[in-house]
Structure formats: C-alpha cells, structure tokens
Amino acid sequence: MTTAFDPIDLSGSRLGNRIVMAPMTRSRAGEGGVATDLTAEYYAQRASAGLIVTEGIQPSVVGQGYPDTPGLHSAAQVAGWRKVTDAVHAAGGRIFAQIMHAGRIGHPVLLPEGLVNVAPSPVAAEGQVFTAEGPKEFITPRELTGAEVRATIGDFVTAARNAIDAGFDGVELHGANGYLIHQFLAPGSNRRTDEWGGSPENRVRFAVEVAKAVTAEIGAERTGFRVSPGNPFNDISEPDPEPVYIALAKELAALDLAYLHVMEVGEIRDLSNRLRKEFGGTFVLSPQTEGPTSHGALALVEDGTADLIAFGALFLANPDLPARLRTEGPYNTPDQSTFYGGTEKGYTDYPTL
C-alpha cells in the first residue's frame, strides 16, 4: 500500500514524500517585493515537505493584490528568490513558485501611480482589501483589451522564466481563490463576448493559453496548475462549475503538466474525482475537512484519491509537519493574528518537536 510517506517521481524529480506545503500569503516581502533572508529561513525550515509551493508571487506590477507581497518581474526579485531556493535545496527540499496575478482583487493605492487593477470584465468584487491606509473597498477594474490579455499571458511566461533563473524546481499557475485566472473561468466575473468569454470553452481559454505558453518556455514537467471549483472566495460566482472544470482538465491533460492541484471548498469530492480522472496525471489535493487538516487526510493517498496531499495553516505552524503527521501530533496551533505581515513572530519562531 502506498502511503503519504513514500517517495514519488514528479515528472522526473524525486520527492521524498507526498506531503505538500500549500501556498499561503504571508505579506512579508521587503522593499520592491523582494524576498528576504527571513523568507529564506521560513521556507528552509519547512524543507522536509515533499514539495513546497510558495505564497502567491505577482508576475507584474499590476498583478499585485495585497501589501508586501513578492514579485518575479525584476532582477532584484530574482536575486532575492535565489537565496530562498538555495536555502531550501541545501536543506534537501523541492520548491515551486506559485505565480499569482490578483486581477480585480487589490486597490490602486497598492500600485504605482496611474495604474488601476485589471480584470476580464469591469465588474467589482464585493468586499475590502487591507492597505497601509486602512481597509479599502474593491474598485471596478479596467477590462483588459484583447491585446492586453495576450500581454498578460506574456507576463506569466516571463515570471516563469525568472522563477527557473532564480533556482525554483518549477512553477504553479494559480487558477484558484478568485484571482485573475479564476476570474476568467467564472461567469460572475467574466462577462466578455469575445473569444475569452461566454461558453465554458471560451472561459477556460485564458487558463489554457497561460499554461501552454508557460510550458513552451520552461517545460511541462516544471509546470503545475491549481484550481478551486465553486470557491466563492473574493466574490466569485460559479453556479455550475462542473462543465468549466471538466473542459479545463481535458485541455490541461493534453499538456502533460507536472500536476493538477485541486483545493476543495464545500462538498465537491465527486467533482475532484472527475477532475483526477480527466487529468490523468499527478494529482495534488487540498481536501475539505472539518477543522485543521491533520494525519487523517493522509488516507486519501492510501485509497488512491490523490497522489499528494497539501496542508496549509497546519504547515505554517508546524515547520516539521511530516514528522508530526507520522506520530499523529502533537501540533502547534496557528496564530491567526500573525498570518499577514509583521516580523519573525508567527513566521519563523514556531517550535519543532
């Protein structure tokens, strides 16, 4: 019987186990969106994961959605991430960069003067974003032109190339949680009538074209893709997600990506199973659970539901999580007050066993 503690081959790269550190925004980048020495320490502490997926990294200046998030679009940012990847590799780990364009999520005060947030359609999300000036209501974004859609795909490609130059083992394209790729997938935020909107086949086009362009640049074996079907986070409306995500899984299957990563929100296990079948390749699952995901989720590897299991807040608070899962605890409790921004407190000071 295969267990979560067994190694796995990920497109030619050996992972020591099947336990993934899920991407989590921490808002602790330095000036200019540059990863710091503290960032390197944070990820290196968690190198016992089979695979680390970083926090979301913006591929362009306008892709930033939150304060103090890191980028991969400048030489300084590439150099900062090189310190991180070197530290993780020295500790025996593997690390993918999650490329995340926030789209309509964010606010112009987080961007250089003159820039506004962009999206598939000029539809504002309900809610607020935290800024240095306090909470701000999401604005109505500017609709991307057809040419700008193509240019944005190019931004993902450049960020992916920068990730490899920075020493990452690969990238994960963030198509979940209400950010730009997800905004194209969802009918509530994508009301276009051109080739990028309307039918499920058109709404998946942006996601597919990003994946195609990135794999052409860095290789399919170094490219993963994350989705969260039906997830209402960031005011996403997807009343009937199945046709869109089945169509997307079929398209991504043809690209032979390193993996498909499904984040479950709500009772969608049947859809997760369909997506695993349609994709056909390595399948990573962030399962829907009651309370913090713990060792019980590892059974999903044993029964074949997933090839790898991703853990979020539990990994944030337990840098040696694989060891704790093996012994079924004890677990440190995540301190939500230190999730975003701040110093080493709640970042690199959680104890190991």
Catalytic residue among 42, 43, 66, 179: 179
41 φ/ψ angles, rounded to the nearest 5 degrees? -65, -45
* 331 labelled catalytic: no
Q: Across-strand partners of 34?
A: 30
Reduced to 3 states (helix: H, G, I; strand: E, B; else coil), residue 74 is coil
In contact, 211 and 223? CB cutoff 8 Å: yes
Question: Can you list the alpha helix ranges (DSSP code H) found in the chain?
Answer: 37-45, 75-90, 146-165, 180-185, 200-203, 205-218, 241-253, 269-279, 299-302, 313-317, 321-326
Quick one: 6 exposed, middle or buried, by C-beta within 10 A (0-12, 13-18, 19+)? middle
Indicate the angle between helix axes 146-165 and 205-218, nearest 10 degrees.
40
Instruction: Give the active site residues.
Output: 179
